[in-house]
Structure 1
Amino acid sequence: MTTVQEIYETIDAFAPFASQESWDNSGLLAGAGTQPAEKILTTLDISQGVIAEAAAQGVQLIVSHHPVIFSPLKALPVQHPVYQLAAHQIAAICVHTPLDMAPEGLNAYAHTLLRECLSLEGRTDVLEPCWKDGRGFGWTDTSTRAWTPQALAQQLQSVFGGAVRYSAKETPIRKIAYCSGSAASMLELAAAQGCDALITGDIKHDRWYAAEFSDVALFDCGHYGTERFAAEILAAHIRAAHPEVTVIAQAGADPAEICAGGEEQ
């Protein structure tokens, strides 16, 4: 029988939990290491819908990117995902910043996706180093061609899906910085490293003006858009190490809808 602890150790081998940021809450957040984990669901967020699907399919462990417990819980209503996990006896392992920084994690996966379509040279540097061994958040790389903001936005939409918000900086874009999730705070780091553009998600209003001042183009591909790949990354590692278990990769749906205008037909 494969246990939750064995799956935890498999994840820890490629995305060490000890590498998480001080503000993070990655690890085994629900259940016990001794519980069976012969049917697993990997996902981006442990939502009510994901738990309902997991329970319907007899899943014993959910492995997610975003922590199901992030801030201290002061109440636990029955509809809360943590309550539902306990009610269905489903364990939960969450791999947040360790997966962001892992050599085979989210940002590295995005580089693989973008390398060919953006004509990147493949010589990457870490955008924000956090560890002495060089690990950190995001990357920078240089394209072999110059991009207009419009052309780059179209390519990004084809990769990440959904809407892409961008600033129409009219100078050519060659050196590109990237960080999944919500990393507009790294704008100044990107500018200091000579980048022409920063690709991320969840960009706040003031950051667009900061980008204009820094002469860096910003591209907002959404938090969900840049991180939905976590489900398949986690599933692939677990399947490779544990061919005896059943792993379902389910990123879940983007919780935000987009109104594109016009009337329904």
Structure 2
Amino acid sequence: MLTVKEVYEVVNGFAPFASQESWDNSGLLVGSMTQPADRILTTLDISEEVIAQAVQQQVQLIVAHHPVIFSPLKALPQNSPVYQLAAHGIAAICVHTPLDMSPVGLNAYAHGLLAEPLALENAQSVLEPSWTDGRGFGWIDTSTRTWTPQALAQVLEKTFGTVRYSAKETPIRKIAYCSGSAASMLELAVAKGCDALITGDIKHDRWYAAEFENIALFDCGHYGTERFAAEILAQRLRDAFPAAQVTANAGDDPAKIFIGDEKA
């Protein structure tokens, strides 16, 4: 019988929980280390859809990117995902910032996706070093060609889905990238000589800041840049536990975009 502890140790091997940011809440958040984990579901978020699938498939452990408990809980109503997991005896391991920073995690995976279509030199450096060994958030790399914002947006749309981008024309060679929500790193990218920052969840004021800094900004969405977490986690666990039943489901983007008379 595979246990939650064994899965936890494998995840800790490629995305050390000790590397998480002080504000993060990664680790075993629901259940016990001694629980069985022969049936595993990996995902981005522990949503209603994911819990329903887990119950239907008799999943024993969910391994997710985003923490199912982030802020302190003051109540536990029946519609809480934590309540529902506990009620069905499903354990939950969440690996948030450690997976962002992992050499085989989200940002590294995105670099692999973008290296060829963006003609990157594959000489990336870390955008924001955070941990003692130099690993951190995002990356910086240089393209062998010069891009316009429109041309770069076309490539990003094919990779991530819907993309918003700066209207200001500026030539792009040196590119910064960070999955999730990293518009706060705009000034850092500028200081490091970048021509563009690709991330998600960009607030209104950041677009104007980018104009003044003469840097192109691309919003590929939080879901768009991080949905790959489900498959990254699943593949690592399949390799470690060939006999286990491991299913990946990134879930659907909870936000829809209305275009004309149809939802995109």
**TM-score over 0.5 for the alignment?**
yes
Listed as ranges, the matches of 1:26-105 within 5 Å are: 26-105=26-105
Listed as ranges, the matches of 1:208-219 within 5 Å are: 208-219=207-218
Please list the CA deviations of residues 200-236 of structure 1 after superposition, one character each: whole Å capped at 9, or x if unmatched: 0000001001111111100000000000000000001
CA distance in 1, matches of 2:95, 2:16: 9
Deviates more, 1:106-115 or 1:127-136: 127-136
Q: Which amino acid aligns with 1:219?
A: F
Listed as ranges, the matches of 1:12-31 within 5 Å are: 12-31=12-31
Identical aligned pairs, as a percentage?
76
Q: Could you tell me whether the CA contact under 8 Å between 1:164 and 1:222 is conserved in 2?
A: yes
CA distance in 2, matches of 1:171, 1:52: 46
The match for 1:201 is: 200
CA distance in 1, matches of 2:167, 2:75: 45
CA distance in 2, matches of 1:185, 1:92: 30
Please list the CA deviations of residues 24-71 of structure 1 after superposition, one character each: whole Å capped at 9, or x if unmatched: 000000000000000000000001111011100010000000000000
Ranges in structure 2 where 5+ consecutive residues have no aligned partner: none
Listed as ranges, the matches of 1:69-218 within 5 Å are: 69-161=69-161, 163-218=162-217
Q: CA deviation at 1:168?
A: 2.2
Q: CA deviation at 1:262?
A: 3.2
Q: Which amino acid aligns with 1:260?
A: I
Q: Could you tell me whether the CA contact under 8 Å between 2:46 and 2:64 is conserved in 1?
A: yes
CA distance in 2, matches of 1:258, 1:188: 29
3-state DSSP of counterpart to 1:110: helix
Deviates more, 1:190-199 or 1:130-139: 130-139
CA distance in 1, matches of 2:261, 2:247: 37
Q: Which amino acid aligns with 1:105?
A: G
Q: Could you tell me whether the CA contact under 8 Å between 1:164 and 1:220 is conserved in 2?
A: yes
Cα RMSD (Å) of the superposition? 0.9
**What TM-score do the two structures reach when normalised by structure 1?**
0.98
CA distance in 1, matches of 2:159, 2:199: 13
Q: Could you tell me whether the CA contact under 8 Å between 2:170 and 2:215 is conserved in 1?
A: no
Q: Could you tell me whether the CA contact under 8 Å between 1:48 and 1:80 is conserved in 2?
A: no
User: Runs of at least 4 residues of structure 1 off by over 6 A?
Assistant: none
CA distance in 1, matches of 2:3, 2:193: 47
Q: CA deviation at 1:171?
A: 1.9
CA distance in 2, matches of 1:33, 1:130: 29
CA distance in 1, matches of 2:163, 2:141: 20
The match for 1:252 is: 251
3-state DSSP of counterpart to 1:5: helix
The match for 2:238 is: 239
Please list the CA deviations of residues 129-181 of structure 1 after superposition, one character each: whole Å capped at 9, or x if unmatched: 012311100000000011110111010000011x2100023121000000000
CA distance in 2, matches of 1:23, 1:171: 35
Q: CA deviation at 1:263?
A: 5.9
CA distance in 1, matches of 2:170, 2:31: 53
Number of corresponding residues: 263
Q: Against the structure 1 CA distance between its residues 192 and 263, is the aligned structure 2 distance closer, same or farther, given a 3 Å change threshold?
A: closer
Q: Could you tell me whether the CA contact under 8 Å between 1:142 and 1:175 is conserved in 2?
A: yes
**What TM-score do the two structures reach when normalised by structure 2?**
0.98
Ranges in structure 1 where 5+ consecutive residues have no aligned partner: none
CA distance in 2, matches of 1:145, 1:240: 37
CA distance in 2, matches of 1:97, 1:82: 20
Q: Against the structure 1 CA distance between its residues 263 and 202, is the aligned structure 2 distance closer, same or farther, given a 3 Å change threshold?
A: closer
CA distance in 2, matches of 1:262, 1:90: 40
